[in-house]
Structure 1
Amino acid sequence: MKFSKQFSLYESEATNFIKDLKKANPALEQSQRDGRALLWDKQAIDLDTQKRNQESRINQQAYVYQNKG
């Protein structure tokens, strides 16, 4: 959606802050990618391990704080 010409050159304070931050610290984006890879990107699990994990699961009872007795 295109606004009038007066808004085409506008940059918000947040955009300017991020641009200045990236200029001051050029390695910022790479460190963000590394942090994401560390916390979120998971290695693929082979099929044997996945099958073993599924077979070794134990069903949880409906109310976990009550013992069957």
Structure 2
Amino acid sequence: MIFKKQHSLYESEHTKFIKELKAKTPGMEERQVEGRSLLWDKAPLSLDEQERIKQSRLRQQAYPYQTKV
């Protein structure tokens, strides 16, 4: 499929909005990176701590809503 040049220049309203927002709010991308690191970038766990967490998990039935007869 061949796209014409006019399609390569298309920019959606959402893209325009995000670009405008980033231009109006300096430092927004840095704050996004900081926020992401708070939630997702965790320090690695030691092997002892991983084993302790594994040992402390409770086993669950395969189908928890089934009553035992």
Q: TM-score, normalised by structure 1?
A: 0.72
- Over 3 Å counting, the alpha-carbon distance change for 1:12 and 1:54 in structure 2 is same
Alignment pair present for 1:53 and 2:53 = yes
Tell me the secondary structure at the aligned position of residue 32 of structure 2: helix
1:37-52 maps to which residues of 2 (within 5 A)? Answer: 37-52=37-52
Identity %: 54
> Structure 1 CA distance, aligned partners of 2:42 and 2:30?
18
Question: Which residue type is aligned with residue 54 of structure 1?
Answer: K
Deviation at 1:24? Answer: 0.7
Q: 1:67 — aligned with what?
A: none
Q: TM-score, normalised by structure 2?
A: 0.72
- Structure 1 stretches of 4+ with a deviation exceeding 2 A read 55-63
- Please list every run of 5 or more consecutive structure 1 residues that lacks an aligned counterpart in the other structure: 64-69
